[in-house]
A and B are shown apart, each in its own frame.
Chain A
Amino acid sequence: MSIEQMILIFASIVAAATPLAFAAFGELVTERAGVLNLGVEGMMLMGAVAGFAVASQSGSLTLGFGAGLLAGLAMSLIFAVLTLHLQTNQVATGLALTLFGAGLSAFIGKSYVGLSLQGLQPISIPYLTDIPLIGRLIFHFDWVVYGSFVLLFGLIWFFKYSRWGLVVRAVGESPVSAHAIGYPVIRIRYLAILFGGAMSGIAGAYLSLAITPMWVEGMTSGRGWIALALVVFATWKPIRVMVGAYLFGGVTILQFYGQGMGVHIPSEILSMLPYLVTIVVLVLISRNPKTILLNQPMSLGQSFYPRT
């Protein structure tokens, strides 16, 4: 395998990992505040279709990503109103969000099927990109990829060193106590859910604007669910989410190159890999019940209604 090929493979792993990282980071924040939003898949689909629709109408990818973010945000707003105000069950509402997102995105996207546009291009950083080998390897990505690393360090700082990060964690561990101390539990959960929605929206838009610049019905093909599994796999820690996203990105890409390298396994069987790996990883991490118990936010999935 030549160096050129290796660089190509590495670039496609990064591209596959980035949307997973965004969606999982968003869900991580939501879950840290004690809210389980199973609607990631639906929010990603809406982000993908909104991003593609706006980008192909306006010709601007930036506007497309903005639309994707807003679509994810709007979807999570529905979830927030239902679970926080109307006290609906989080599991059922999240599933409803996914089903709704799948239906609505297919509906909106009907007239965009078959179109394509110029996808998001890598940016060249002066001098750095020109470094032989390394320049092409790590300084030749689009801004969303760099954004995912900014987000990673931002989240590490937020949860470890910032006051509000601590408050979010308190809300996730015990909303009753946080409320008693005087923190606005509902407002914090709102923001956490909306953040999750926005990130899922960007993740979806990245699929339809960067990886495969087109709209296909159900194009997320389970990535939202894999992102949810990633959060569990990462035991609710940002850095592990990133590692997990690259691991899964690697598995996804492996199946494409496996065929090229003369592995004679039907493509359908190879495509099962990411899903099977997700299951294996989930089994490994939840095998010891204490791992989950010690790391999972205590109030995850439970409704809270302030009574004063």
Chain B
Amino acid sequence: MPRLERRAKPSRVMMFASPLIAAVMMLITGYILFSVMGKEPIHAFGVFFIKPLTTTYGVGELFLKATPLILIGVGLAIGFRARVFNIGAEGQFVMGAIAAGGVALYFHHLEAVWILPLMMLAGIGGGMAWAAIPAFLRTRFNTNEILVTLMLVYVAQLFLGYLVQGPWRDPEGFNFPQTKMFTDSETMPLLIEGLRTNLGFVIALFLVAVAWFFSFKMFAGFRMEVSGLAPDAARYAGFSEQRNVWFALLISGGLAGFAGMVEVAGPIGQLQPVISPGYGFAAIIVAYVGRLHPIGVLLASLLLSLLYLGGETAQMDLNLPSAITGLFQGILLFYLLAADIFIHYRIKPNPHEARCTITPPPPPSGDMI
């Protein structure tokens, strides 16, 4: 086991290099994985990572699937910076979709331009309300937000299941557990004819810019970053921890809820028992791989979106289970975490020489980023 030596200060180069190292390592692992499974690796590789991008439609799908990841990932990154761990974005996503779907069904007989904006607001509100529960419990009763947000994922999914099986089921839907299809004025306008990419993607890009401005140009963003990096300093400076918790959860919850609205008012077009292939959890990976930075989140979302698309084409062309997407996601995060050690440490060049050097104290506990 080579000895590690702490760097005098965190390496900026490694900070940006480690997601790339992780992505490359993931590709190499994928190559080995395909060989082990008896698929011609070069061909499988092409099918998984290249083929989805060879058509205009494919690129449109890439942006479509990246949209919820960007929206959720940007929100989570803001929270993670302040070390507020909202792990239940999947639940807030579902609640946002339910709220937006409720509005759509209520005004189903109307054709009006204000319905879609109202659905957006409902989506944001639904996600925020769901995230407000852990925020309240954490600030009022000191309850761990990781476990509460997670438990609420299951509750939200069951609630959606109840609605589409029961009161909201389409009476003319041949007993399928789903609602009526949303009308044209209740669906997100498409950007380009023939592609499924919708207005949500543009809004997501805009929010990336807003998040960047908030995190790096506004005092509130600075306050949250200090709270995450140096909780003691933040307390000394009088930054309210409670406000951070509320803010982080409401922002990430609202964005996750909005993502849910974009999904049901976009490619899905109705409420179904399952409306997400785990976007809320994949967005956690997006936030970390994107270095908790809005631009990084954008790039990481495109990568994870490609993994979803690759999983689908691999299922069709290679007869591989689409679960391989989740496998790649997990592997990517592992490699990233492992590569991150080189931000703070380097391999000791000569153990005999280095023995007499004074090593600075360890990094702050639970060091994120």
Interface residues of A (CB under 8 A from B): 38, 78, 82, 85-93, 95-97, 99-104, 106-107, 110, 217, 221-222, 225-226, 228-229, 232, 266, 268-269, 271-272, 275-276, 278-279, 282-283, 286-287, 289, 292, 301-305, 307
Contact = CB atoms under 8 A, between A and B. Distances in A.
A106 B147 contact: no
A268 B158 contact: yes
B341 A88 contact: yes
A89 B162 contact: no
Contacts of B325: 103
B325 to A, nearest CB: 7
Contacts of B141: 283, 286-287
A173 to B, nearest CB: 14
A263 to B, nearest CB: 15
Given A88-B341, A266-B162, A283 B333 contact: no
Given A87-B345, A272-B155, A282-B148, A106 B326 contact: yes
B4 A305 contact: yes
29 contacts: A38-B146, A78-B334, A82-B337, A86-B341, A91-B146, A91-B366, A93-B334, A99-B330, A100-B330, A100-B333, A102-B278, A103-B323, A103-B325, A104-B327, A107-B327, A110-B321, A266-B166, A268-B161, A268-B165, A272-B154, A275-B151, A275-B155, A283-B143, A286-B144, A292-B142, A302-B366, A303-B366, A304-B362, A305-B4
Secondary structure at the B interface, as helix, strand, loop or mixed, is helix
B365 to A, nearest CB: 4
A230 B4 CA distance: 36
Contacts of A283: 137, 141, 143
Interface-centre pick from A92, A97, A279, A303 (highest chain B CB count, 10 A):
A92
B161 A90 contact: no
Given A85-B1, A103-B325, A96 B137 contact: no
**Complex A-B, nearest 4 residue pairs according to Cβ-Cβ distance, in ascending order:** A103-B326, A100-B330, A106-B323, A268-B162
B284 interface: yes
A286 B142 contact: yes
Interface of B: 1, 4, 85, 87, 137, 141-144, 146-148, 150-155, 158-159, 161-162, 165-166, 278, 281, 284-285, 288, 321, 323-331, 333-334, 337-338, 340-341, 344-345, 359, 362-363, 365-368
B280 to A, nearest CB: 11
Nearest to A271: B158
Contacts of A106: 321, 323, 326-327
Nearest to A93: B337
A87 B341 contact: yes
B154 A99 contact: no
Contacts of A292: 142
B144 A90 contact: no
B328 A90 contact: no
Contacts, number: 155
Contacts of B329: 99-100, 103
Query: Is chain A's binding surface mostly helix, strand, loop or mixed?
Result: helix
Given A89-B367, A102-B278, A266-B166, 5 more contacts: A91-B366, A225-B151, A272-B154, A275-B151, A289-B142
Contacts of A268: 158-159, 161-162, 165
Given A88-B341, A225-B150, A99 B365 contact: no
B334 A275 contact: no
A175 B55 CA distance: 56
**By CB atoms of chain B within 10 A, which of A91, A228, A304 has the most?**
A91
B362 A95 contact: no
A259 B327 CA distance: 38
A262 B161 CA distance: 21
B330 A96 contact: yes
A110 B334 CA distance: 23
Nearest to B330: A100
Contact of B338 (A82, A103, A217): A82
Contacts of B345: 87
A275 B331 CA distance: 29
Contacts of B285: 96, 99
A232 B145 CA distance: 13
Given A95-B87, A107-B321, A305-B362, A279 B330 contact: no
Contact of B330 (A82, A90, A104, A286): A104
Nearest to B325: A103
Contacts of B142: 286-287, 289, 292
Given A225-B150, A269-B162, A107 B326 contact: yes
A279 B130 CA distance: 14
Nearest to A267: B162
Nearest to B5: A307
A221 B153 CA distance: 11
B359 A307 contact: yes
A87 B330 contact: no
A222 B326 CA distance: 17
B44 to A, nearest CB: 14
